[in-house]
């Protein structure tokens, strides 16, 4: 009993000590008030580091579905480091009708999964999830050797049974970015707004480990980046082939031109993919490559347009709708034990209209196409090319209301269509509702 009282007493003293030394300065002492940031100072007698707070809230690469800059920031006793704590609670509900998208609601409205034929499949379903909610920590600081640097980690809850799942974990310093984050092939600022978590077909929202270097030049009117990325290969293997470890990272580079109200970016990708030929007992390599043009532009105060076009071979994991569908390498029907890369392309265009300062609507159309070269076979040596996905179309129309700076409501209608090489076709429709609160 005495031990419990002593523990309670020591805990109370510790909390009192922290409260006595950690004070919150009025927001009007820094420009953080405009960002709605609450700054807590462990040592209120040291002058505030305004530059550090601005660096914390600086956000040059943010997807529409990403959390806003942190609401709460903690500065250390010397005001050399700042820790931001933020995230969002994101609740979505929906309904599929006249055709459903099977699989997890959290992965989004992926048109490659539109079912072909009715059979015994249900034609409608009710949906609800909060798994795409996110929590993150962002540390920024200034040192003599690193200059300004930041460390960012974030988690959503898309693991099994809503377990946390790592989304981002990287460090930025002197133009370098090392860790896991969205691919350098992804132009996040050119993606039109959707409630749908997967977003437009053909855009590449792929998170993977990488080492990136980027730099602004020409008075920040131009920007380039080059990266070595370490993805997995998603291939369709037969009885005569099997997976092999990958020995060479993918190389991605882009050049971007910026102007007030928009940008345009040209991106290139090259990759080597290894596999084993069980007939010749050899490790073989296929090359994949891709090119992409993307951008955004403010037409006026009311309208913003978004666009992207991508073409390549063996880059399925970099194209939304093809990723995880085993399309990076496909069986080659002309040579037993060989795999091949297939040509693929995609494009989308979107427009956003600001109805009022707090209400906006957007419309998006996207298309993705996979070609079939050389009749290929599955593990049972039966031709499957005719049953392969050929192309899909994606339509999205939505409206968002920013109730406050932190809270957003949204409504969205989605329609998807898929056609196979056999000319069989399927469609699906979905309505989404959104309640989101950023903190």
Q: Is residue 58 part of a domain?
A: no
Q: Is residue 296 part of a domain?
A: yes
What distance in Å separates the CA atoms of residue 200 and residue 196, rounded to the nearest whole number?
8
Q: What integer pLDDT is reported at residue 281 of this predicted model?
A: 87
3 state SS of 152 = strand
The CATH code of the domain that includes 126 is: 2.40.160
CB 20 within 8 A of CB 44: no
Q: What integer pLDDT is reported at residue 18 of this predicted model?
A: 37
Residue 19: which residues within 8 A CB-CB, separation 6 or more? none
Q: Is residue 152 part of a domain?
A: no
Q: Is residue 182 part of a domain?
A: yes
User: Domain range for residue 431?
Assistant: 88-139+165-438
Q: Is residue 69 part of a domain?
A: no
> What string of pLDDT tens digits covers the 439 residues of the chain?
544 444 444 344 433 343 434 333 333 333 333 455 666 555 544 555 557 777 788 777 888 889 988 888 888 877 788 999 999 999 999 999 988 887 778 888 988 888 887 665 677 889 999 999 999 999 999 888 888 899 999 999 998 888 999 999 999 999 999 999 999 999 999 999 999 998 998 887 788 999 999 999 999 899 999 999 998 898 988 888 999 988 899 999 999 999 999 999 999 999 999 999 998 889 999 999 999 999 999 999 999 999 999 999 999 989 887 877 889 999 887 777 889 999 999 999 999 999 999 999 999 999 999 988 766 655 455 455 667 889 999 999 999 999 999 999 999 999 999 998 888 899 999 999 999 999 9
Q: Is residue 318 part of a domain?
A: yes
Q: Is residue 70 part of a domain?
A: no
CB 112 within 8 A of CB 57: no
What distance in Å separates the CA atoms of residue 180 and residue 115, rounded to the nearest whole number?
33
- Both tokens of residue 193? 């707004």
DSSP-derived letter for residue 199 is -
Number of domains in the chain: 1
Residue 396: which residues within 8 A CB-CB, separation 6 or more? 192, 194, 196, 200, 350, 362, 363, 364, 365, 412, 413, 414
pTM of the entire predicted model? 0.84
Q: Is residue 74 part of a domain?
A: no
């Amino acid at each position: 009993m005495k031990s419990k009282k002593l523990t309670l007493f020591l805990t109370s003293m510790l909390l009192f000590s922290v409260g006595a030394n950690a004070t919150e300065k009025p927001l009007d002492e820094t420009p953080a008030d405009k960002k709605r940031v609450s700054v807590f100072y462990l040592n209120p007698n040291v002058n505030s580091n305004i530059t550090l707070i601005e660096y914390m809230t600086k956000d040059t690469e943010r997807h529409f579905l990403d959390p806003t800059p942190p609401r709460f920031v903690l500065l250390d006793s010397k005001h050399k480091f700042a820790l931001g704590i933020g995230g969002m609670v994101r609740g979505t509900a929906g309904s599929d009708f006249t055709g459903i998208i099977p699989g997890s609601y959290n992965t989004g409205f992926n048109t490659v999964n539109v079912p072909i034929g009715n059979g015994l499949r249900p034609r409608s379903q009710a949906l609800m999830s909060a798994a795409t909610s996110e929590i993150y920590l962002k540390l920024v600081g200034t040192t003599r050797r690193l200059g300004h640097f930041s460390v960012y980690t974030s988690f959503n809850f898309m693991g099994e049974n809503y377990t946390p799942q790592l989304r981002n974990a990287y460090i930025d310093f002197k133009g370098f970015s090392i860790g896991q984050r969205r691919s350098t092939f992804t132009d996040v600022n050119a993606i039109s707004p959707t409630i749908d978590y997967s977003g437009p077909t053909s855009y590449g929202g792929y998170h993977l480990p990488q080492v990136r270097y980027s730099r602004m030049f020409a008075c920040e009117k131009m920007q380039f980046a080059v990266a070595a990325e370490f993805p997995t290969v998603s291939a369709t293997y037969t009885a005569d082939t099997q997976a092999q470890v990958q020995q060479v990272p993918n190389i991605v580079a882009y050049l971007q031109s910026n102007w007030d109200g928009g940008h345009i970016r040209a991106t290139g990708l090259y990759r080597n993919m290894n596999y084993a030929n069980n007939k010749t007992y050899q490790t073989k390599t296929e090359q994949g490559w891709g090119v992409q043009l993307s951008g955004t532009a403010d037409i006026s105060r009311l309208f913003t347009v978004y666009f992207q076009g991508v073409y390549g071979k063996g880059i399925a994991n970099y194209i939304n709708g093809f990723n995880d569908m085993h399309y990076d390498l496909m069986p080659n029907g002309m040579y037993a034990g060989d795999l091949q890369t297939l040509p693929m392309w995609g494009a989308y265009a979107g427009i956003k209209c600001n109805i009022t300062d707090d209400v906006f609507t957007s419309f998006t159309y996207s298309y993705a196409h996979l070609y079939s070269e050389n009749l290929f076979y599955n593990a049972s040596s039966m031709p499957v090319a005719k049953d392969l996905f050929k192309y899909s179309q994606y339509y999205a129309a939505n409206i968002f209301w920013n109730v406050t700076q932190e809270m957003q409501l949204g409504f969205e209608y989605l329609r998807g269509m898929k056609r196979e090489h056999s000319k069989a076709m399927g469609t699906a429709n979905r309505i989404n509702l959104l309640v989101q609160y950023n903190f």
